[in-house]
A and B are shown apart, each in its own frame.
Chain A
Amino acid sequence: MIDVLSAASSNFLSPTILAFVLGALAGFFRSDLEVPEAITKGLSIYLMLAIGMKGGASLATSGVGLDVLPGLVAAIVLSFFIPLVAYGLLKFATRLSTVDAAAVSAHYGSVSIVTFVTATQFLTDIDVPYEAHVIAMVALMETPAIITGLMLARRGVASRAKGSLFTPDMVREIFFNGSIVLLLGGFAIGWATGPDGMKSVSPFFIDPFQGVLCLFLLDMGLVAAHRLRAAQSLTLGVVAFGLYMPLIGAVFGAAAGLLVGLSVGGTILLTVLCASASYIAVPAAMRLALPKADPGIYIPLSLGVTFPFNVLIGIPLYAACIDAIVN
C-alpha cells in the first residue's frame, strides 16, 4: 500500500526532484547558470537509450506473449483519443483559436518521456515493479496524438486550402524522430542481448542513471522557468487547463491500465503517460505542420505548467490513488 504523503515526501526529497527545483529557482531568479545545449542533448540520448535497453532486457527475462497486446492497443487508442477531449475542453473553456487548440491538444495526447523516466525512478525508489512492455507503449503513444491534432486543425481550414496531411519531412519527424529511434532501438538491443548484455553495460547505463537524471532535470527546471517567464500568450484559463488536463488524462490512463490488466506499477506508468504532455517531438512536428499555431502557448504550457505539476505532485498522487483503488 502506497501512502500518498510518504510517497509525495519521498518523491519531493529525492535528489532528482530537488535538482529540478534548484534549476527552476535558478531560472526564476535569472541566475547565469546554464547547462550547454549539447550536454542536454547528450544526457537525453543517454536517458532514452538506457530506459529502452532496460525495458528490452527486462522483457527478455520475463518473456513476451500475446498478453502484451491489449496494453499496446490501449496506448495507441488513448493517444488518438485524449486530444479530442483536450480540444473540446480548450474550445469550451478558453478563447484559443482552432489551430492553437488543436496544437495544444496534440501535445496532451502525446507523452513526455522525461516525466515517464522520472516516474520509473520513483517506482524503483519505492520498490514497485512494472511490466517491461510499458517502454514500447511510450514509443507508440508519441505519434497518434499528432495525427488527431492535425485533423482537428484542419477543421478550421477551408477544404480548398487543405493540402496533404503529411509531407515527407513531417513523416520523418513524427515516425523517425530521435526519441522514438532511441527508445525502440534501445528496447531492441536490450531484448536481443538480454540480461547478460545489460550486465555488460550496467556500469554505464544502470549505476549512473539517477545522477544523469539529476543533471537533466536541473536543466529542465531552468528551461521550464525560462519558458514560463517568457510566456506572454498564456491566459489564466489556459494555465488552468495545464493543471486539470493531466488529472483528466490520468483518469483515462488509470482506467485503461486496470481494464487491460496491467500491474499497479504498469498502471501508474500508463497513467503518468496519459497525464503528461510532449515538449520535444510534438512541438517540432507542429512547427512544420501548423506554423500558424503559437509555440508561445503550447511549449510553456506543457513544459512550464504540466511538466512541473506532474513531476512534483502528479506522480505520487497518481501512484497513491491507483494503489488505493487496487488494494
Chain B
Amino acid sequence: MKESVLFERVILGSTEEAKDIILQLVNLSAYFCESRIVKNINLAIEKNKVTSIMGPSGCGKTTLIRCINRMHEMSPGGTTKGEILLYGKDINNMNAIEVRKKIGMVFQRPNPFPTMTIYENVIAGFILNGIRLPKNIMDEIVEDSLSKAALWDEVKHNLGKRGIYLSGGQQQRLCIARALAMKPDVLLLDEPTSALDPKATAKIEELIVQLKESVTILIVTHNIAQAARVSDNTAFLYLGELVEYEPTKKLFTIPRDKRTEEYLTGKYG
C-alpha cells in the first residue's frame, strides 16, 4: 500500500524516525458554515501512545477531535475539508457509523444512560444496535471493560444499579468502559476530567497511562499540567492552527515556537 510509504516518510514534529502511525490528519480544515475553525492541520498520531491536543479555549481542539469521529458534521453548518486516514483509509469515505465503532469518544461531562444499569451501560453500544450476544460473552465484555477502566472492583457487586447513582469520577470511568467495550482502535477523550474533582482526575489520569497498551489515546485538554503528566506526544493548537507537535518532554522543555512558550508560561490561558 502506498500509505505505508507515506508513513515511513512522515515527519513527527522535527524527528524523522519511522513510527507506527495509526491515524493521520492530512490538510484538515473544519468549518462552521463560512468560518474556518480548524486551519489546515497535518498531524500523525502514533499507535498505542497518548497524544494530547492542548491549547487555550476557542483554539479549535474540540472541533478537531469531533472531526475524527465524524461528529462535527452533525453540528449545524459543520463541514470539513481534507483527509483523515485511519490505517491509511480515509474515514470520510467510510460509513460514519462504522467509523464511530472504531474511534470511540468520551465526553467532557459524564453521560451514562440514565435509564440503564451499570451493566447495561457498559454494553450499551451493543444493546442500542440491537446486537444480541450470549450472556457469558456479555459478562466477559463487561468485566473486561470495567477492569480496563479501573472500575470493576468498585462496582462488581452492584452491576444492577442504575448508572447515574455513581459519583462523577465513577460515572466518567463507566463512560470510558462503555467506549472500550466496542474495542475501538482509537479513543478520543474530550477534556475528560474538567468536570471532576482532583482525586477523581488523578484516578483517570492513572487509567489513561495504563490504557494506551490496548488502545491509542487522543486527549484534548486545556490543562497544561495534565498534558505534561499523561501524554507521550503533545500538539499545541492556537487559533485553529497546529503550532507545534513534539514528544511531550521536548515540547515542554524546549518549545520551538514562541507562541508555545508563551502559552506554557501562562501569558494567555
A and B assemble together: no
